[in-house]
């Protein structure tokens, strides 16, 4: 069973704003697979470039909206691939990250890569539905 | 109806990077039939980072990954997908030689490899099947 999730807020669907050929999230086998999330305004879809902290905060807030609309939540995250633009920001990411997944955090891999459109962070996550 | 989600506690606490390196992650999470393992780098029996050659780091990582999966009732033989991140593709064969020891022909899962700048030389992430 494969189902495309509807976004709770129009800005979260990058297809409409940026023409990305992707679904925001797919539900399959009791899991929710989200597309890589970057910092965009959930209402307008506008890119919100900022510090790694501000971008990561925006991503977690958007993720919260998306997962909760699908009956899941940040507590139900199973795996996170966190991509950051420079590994020097690793501890900065960790500080913000702890605020959003304080207990029983998901399995995680962090890598430093160049991210589309000059963003500083992107999160690619899988959650339990 | 909702899928059950459990944190996997490794039998040998030394393979758990989160307390030793103070990281906000669980070594592995079971969700339904799958086990999702965090990215692993080479750490020694005391939990300290163990920098070495690609072969040495790969061996350390896969031995620890086997322990994590076994703590969850799975094993490397049930791995369904492994992402390997390596600091230079020149070391591809050095990683592969050790990798083959742990995943004998025919038994290995899918593997994707990407060249990445990394904190460690090698970082592996695995997803194993529970049963």
Assign residue A98 the CATH number of its domain. 3.30.1330.40
The whole-angstrom distance between A71's CA and the closest CA on chain B is 9
Looking at chain B, the whole-number percentage of residues with pLDDT higher than 90 is 63
CATH 3.30.1330.40, applies to B5-129: yes
Quote the domain boundaries for residue A88.
2-128
pLDDT for the residue numbered B17: 82
Q: Which two tokens stand for residue B113?
A: 């490899």
Tally of domains within chain A: 1
- ipTM given for this complex: 0.91
pLDDT for the residue numbered B131: 40
Q: What span, in angstroms and rounded, lies between the C-alpha atoms of B38 and A69?
A: 26
Task: Give the number of other Cβ atoms within 10 Å of residue B89's Cβ.
Answer: 11
CA nearest neighbour of B64 among B13, B29, B110: B13
Contact B24 A71 (CB under 8 A): no
The whole-angstrom distance between A75's CA and the closest CA on chain B is 10
The whole-angstrom distance between B1's CA and the closest CA on chain A is 9
pLDDT for the residue numbered B45: 82
CA nearest neighbour of A90 among A54, A122, A63, A52: A52
Contact A109 B116 (CB under 8 A): no
Q: What is the rounded average pLDDT for all residues in chain B?
A: 86
Contact B39 A110 (CB under 8 A): yes
Q: Which residues of A touch B18 (CB under 8 A)?
A: 105
Prediction pTM value: 0.90
Output phi, psi for B46, to 5 deg: -95, 0
Question: Residue A128: which of B3, B28, B37 has the nearest Cβ?
Answer: B3
Contact A109 B39 (CB under 8 A): yes
Output phi, psi for A106, to 5 deg: -70, 160
The secondary structure element, H or E, covering residue A109 is strand A107-112
- The residue with tokens 């959650």 is A127
The whole-angstrom distance between B101's CA and the closest CA on chain A is 24
Give the chain A residue whose CA is nearest to the CA of B25: A105
Assign residue A30 a region (left: φ > 0; alpha: ψ between -120 and 50; beta: otherwise): left
Question: Per-domain residue ranges for chain B?
Answer: 5-129
Tally the C-alpha atoms within 13 A of residue A10's C-alpha that lie toward its C-beta: 5
User: pLDDT tens digits for A59-93?
Assistant: 999 999 999 999 999 999 999 999 999 999 999 99
Interchain contact B19–A (C-beta under 8 A): no
Contact B39 A108 (CB under 8 A): yes
Q: Enumerate the H helices of chain B as residue ranges.
A: 17-20, 54-71, 92-102
User: pLDDT tens digits for A48-68?
Assistant: 999 999 999 999 999 999 999
Q: What span, in angstroms and rounded, lies between the C-alpha atoms of A102 and A75?
A: 9
Contact A112 B118 (CB under 8 A): yes
Q: Answer yes or no: are the C-beta atoms of A100 and A59 closer than 8 Å.
A: no
User: pLDDT tens digits for A22-38?
Assistant: 999 999 999 999 999 99
The whole-angstrom distance between B121's CA and the closest CA on chain A is 12
Instruction: Pick the residue of A94, A108, A127 with the most B CBs within 10 A to test the interface with B by mutation.
Output: A108
């Amino acid at each position: 069973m494969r189902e495309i999730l509807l976004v709770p807020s129009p800005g979260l669907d990058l297809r409409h704003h940026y023409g990305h050929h992707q679904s925001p999230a797919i539900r399959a086998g009791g899991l929710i697979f989200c597309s890589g999330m970057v910092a965009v305004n959930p209402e307008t879809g506008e890119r919100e470039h900022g510090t790694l902290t501000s971008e990561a905060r925006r991503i977690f807030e958007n993720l919260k909206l998306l997962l909760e609309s699908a009956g899941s939540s940040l507590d139900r995250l199973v795996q996170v691939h966190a991509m950051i633009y420079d590994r020097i920001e690793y501890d900065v990411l960790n500080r913000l990250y702890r605020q959003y997944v304080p207990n029983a955090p998901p399995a995680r891999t962090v890598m430093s890569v160049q991210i589309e459109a000059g963003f500083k962070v992107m999160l690619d996550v899988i959650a339990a539905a | 109806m909702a899928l059950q989600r459990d944190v996997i506690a490794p039998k040998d606490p030394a393979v758990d990077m989160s307390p030793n390196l103070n990281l906000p992650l669980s070594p592995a999470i079971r969700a339904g039939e799958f086990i999702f393992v965090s990215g692993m780098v080479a750490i020694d029996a005391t939990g300290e980072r163990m920098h070495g050659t690609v072969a040495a780091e790969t061996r350390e990582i896969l031995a620890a990954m086997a322990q994590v999966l076994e703590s969850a009732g799975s094993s490397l033989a049930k791995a369904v997908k492994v992402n390997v991140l390596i600091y230079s593709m020149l070391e591809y064969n050095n990683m592969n030689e050790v990798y083959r020891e742990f995943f004998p022909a025919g038994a290995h899962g899918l593997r994707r490899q990407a060249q990445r700048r990394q904190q460690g030389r090698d970082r592996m992430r695995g997803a194993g099947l529970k049963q």
